[in-house]
Structure 1
Amino acid sequence: MAISDWPVSERPREKLLQLGPKALSDAELLAIFLRTGVSGCDAVTLARQLLSHFGSLRRLMGASQHEFCLAKGLGEAKFVQLQAVLELSKRYMQQQLQRETVFTEPALVKKYLTHTIGHEQREVFLLLYLDNQHRLIASEPLFMGTIDASPVYPRIVVQRALAHNAAAVILAHNHPSGVAEPSRADRAITERLTQAMALVDIKILDHFVVGDAEVVSFAERGWL
């Protein structure tokens, strides 16, 4: 049965218009992006199959062009559209952060980080540079790692913070495993960076670890 034959309340586009995007499942949102299914398979069913194929929405969003285009119902045009959507989302969130006092809006920072590095298949260590009113100056990925590690060098972090004339910074990195719980290594490098930045009078306000379902804040846990 085609989606157009479904009850209006169950059609993804109509459901979004009536209830808002948060009311839709991952598959329903993906179906709207896909627009059409393939022979013998409607868009929602195709979306479910794709989520099962990739394992999660995060892995689908972070797939390489080769991986993406090999999947049933996808191709280069869809890959280009998805990259455009992701980049627009990142830019929108960054503009929102630049308008706000970042440290007083942890939920906004978490949302931005989820959009920025949450879908990455490699570990990315990112810095948010803040002015003396804790407004965003710039966001910069500094280190890229393997599937489970990213080398972090305090000297480079200090150099980049000084180059941006930052008064404070927020650290962030993702866990490609999808589990946001900070490791002992995460806590150790945070302590080293805190000590290094203190020497140049730059404060680390927080360290966020981004996973599939949550973003953990060191500050909220009392670790900073």
Structure 2
Amino acid sequence: MFVCNYNVTMKKEKPHYLGHRKRLKERFVNNPSSLADYEIVELLLGYVVRGKDVKPQAKNILAHVGGIQNIFKISDDIEGVGSETVLFFNIIKDLFRRCEYSNLRENETILNSPTAVFKFLKFEVGFDDVEKLIAVFLDSKGRIKEYKVLSSGSVNESYFPPKELAKQALVRDAVAVILAHNHPSGNLKPSQSDIRYTKNVKNALELVDIALVDHIIVTKNGFLSFKQEELL
């Protein structure tokens, strides 16, 4: 009886997704617009999720958040998404925010339009699930001296009193203030509470000779200007 004593080493096949990921990167380099939304997310996930096919995960994320425009609403409540993945996308969001802010400061850009304010604050609060109130303090030329998140939860006197906002403006030697807050629902219509609070802030600022330039409602997709709507 013939017995074979040779040890045969079977060559392991590489996971199929490794070649796929390489091809995705090559396609991106040659023509970024040729990639579908889920493929862009898939590429990004490849940098945080190792040794795994992430195409199903990319598609699942987009299905849950409602499309690429909502990618920064990613959370670990989504099946297959861990804290590291959420952190990774939050880092990207903050990078965008810092780029916008740095560009405004470096070029001494004047916030002289609601569009400029929206562009500045979109990545600050536009994707947040909690309503936040922000004050942007301006100098005499309309340049940003500082901006600050004043409260989280709602826009009214109980969260941040108008008189306290006036004090904050005086401390920063601001000449004018732009008020802004986000609507997580995406609805740009101001509430009666929003309108009432805005009037009270305007009155409090006028007492110390500081102008309220505008109040902007921000969402991830757009904005509403109280000044343009003649609500200020």
Q: TM-score range by the shorter chain?
A: 0.7 to 0.9
Residue 202 of structure 1, aligned match among 182, 190, 210: 210
**Greater Cα shift, 122-131 or 209-218:** 209-218
User: What's the TM-score, normalizing by structure 2?
Assistant: 0.75
Q: Does 2:58 align with 1:47?
A: yes
Residue 84 of structure 2, aligned match among 72, 77, 83: 77
Aligned residue for 1:208, secondary structure, equals strand
**Following TM superposition, by how much is the alpha carbon of 1:40 offset from its aligned partner in structure 2, in angstroms?**
9.5
- For 1:96, give the aligned amino acid: N
Equivalent residue runs for 1:23-172 within 5 Å:
27-35=38-46, 43=55, 45-55=56-66, 61-62=72-73, 67-68=75-76, 70-98=77-105, 99-145=107-153, 151-172=159-180
**Following TM superposition, by how much is the alpha carbon of 1:78 offset from its aligned partner in structure 2, in angstroms?**
2.0
- For 2:90, give the aligned amino acid: Q
- For 2:94, give the aligned amino acid: E
Q: Which consecutive residues of structure 1, in runs of 5 or more, have no partner in the other structure?
A: none
Q: Is the 8 A contact 2:138 2:174 kept in 1?
A: yes
User: Alignment RMSD, CA only?
Assistant: 3.4
Whole-angstrom CA distance in 1 between matches of 2:231 and 2:29: 40
Q: Which consecutive residues of structure 2, in runs of 5 or more, have no partner in the other structure?
A: 1-15
Whole-angstrom CA distance in 1 between matches of 2:53 and 2:206: 58
Q: Is the 8 A contact 1:118 1:174 kept in 2?
A: yes
For residues 37-87 of structure 1, the C-alpha deviation after alignment (integer angstroms, 9 at most, x for no partner) is 8999653x5323212224466765245xxx42x533432332332232222
Q: Is the 8 A contact 2:42 2:58 kept in 1?
A: yes
Residue 31 of structure 2, aligned match among 14, 18, 27: 18
**Following TM superposition, by how much is the alpha carbon of 1:127 offset from its aligned partner in structure 2, in angstroms?**
0.8
Aligned residue for 1:61, secondary structure, equals helix
- For 1:111, give the aligned amino acid: K
Size of the alignment, in residue pairs?
213
**Following TM superposition, by how much is the alpha carbon of 1:122 offset from its aligned partner in structure 2, in angstroms?**
1.0
Rg larger for: 2
**Following TM superposition, by how much is the alpha carbon of 1:104 offset from its aligned partner in structure 2, in angstroms?**
2.7
Q: Does 2:227 align with 1:219?
A: yes
Whole-angstrom CA distance in 1 between matches of 2:197 and 2:29: 43
Whole-angstrom CA distance in 2 between matches of 1:25 and 1:118: 24
**Following TM superposition, by how much is the alpha carbon of 1:215 offset from its aligned partner in structure 2, in angstroms?**
1.3
For residues 69-119 of structure 1, the C-alpha deviation after alignment (integer angstroms, 9 at most, x for no partner) is x53343233233223222222211111222333333543321221100011
CA separation of 1:15 and 1:179: change in aligned 2, threshold 3 A? farther
CA separation of 1:110 and 1:71: change in aligned 2, threshold 3 A? same
Whole-angstrom CA distance in 1 between matches of 2:37 and 2:218: 19
**Following TM superposition, by how much is the alpha carbon of 1:33 offset from its aligned partner in structure 2, in angstroms?**
1.9
- For 1:52, give the aligned amino acid: A
Taking only the aligned residue pairs, the percentage that are identical comes to 27
